[in-house]
Amino acid sequence: MPDQLAEQYPEAAPYIQQAVAEHGEEWVLEHYDEQLYPLGRIMAMPDKDELPFYDDDEHDTMTEDEKVEMYQAWAAYRENLRTGTKPEE
């Protein structure tokens, strides 16, 4: 991982490096928004397109609206689990 990313995101770099070592770069790019980016609630995390192995021609990122929709769905899912209800109830 380039030093620049480690300098800009010193807390996040080890998590990203560990995920790459365990799963590979393609897995990290495919699962970044669901598995790693949520760490941004407790530390500064780079956007997916800031990763050194991200290639605009091969990969895509979620729009801000898509991220909001995904996180809202997760919140509704957690609330349903907490209350033991279904979305229609």
Domain regions of the chain by residue span: 3-83
**pLDDT tens track for 20-68:** 999 999 999 999 888 888 888 899 999 888 888 888 777 777 788 888 8
* Global pTM value: 0.66
Sequence-ordered list of residues with C-beta below 8 angstroms from that of 31, at least 6 positions apart, any chain: 23
How many CB atoms sit inside 10 A of residue 38's CB? 13
Helix, strand, or coil here: 16? helix
**pLDDT band for position 2 (50/70/90)?**
low
Q: What is the largest CA-CA distance in the chain?
A: 51
Give, as one character, the DSSP assignment of residue 43: S
Token output for 5? 């990313």
Q: Specify whether the CB–CB gap between 35 and 70 falls below 8 A.
A: no
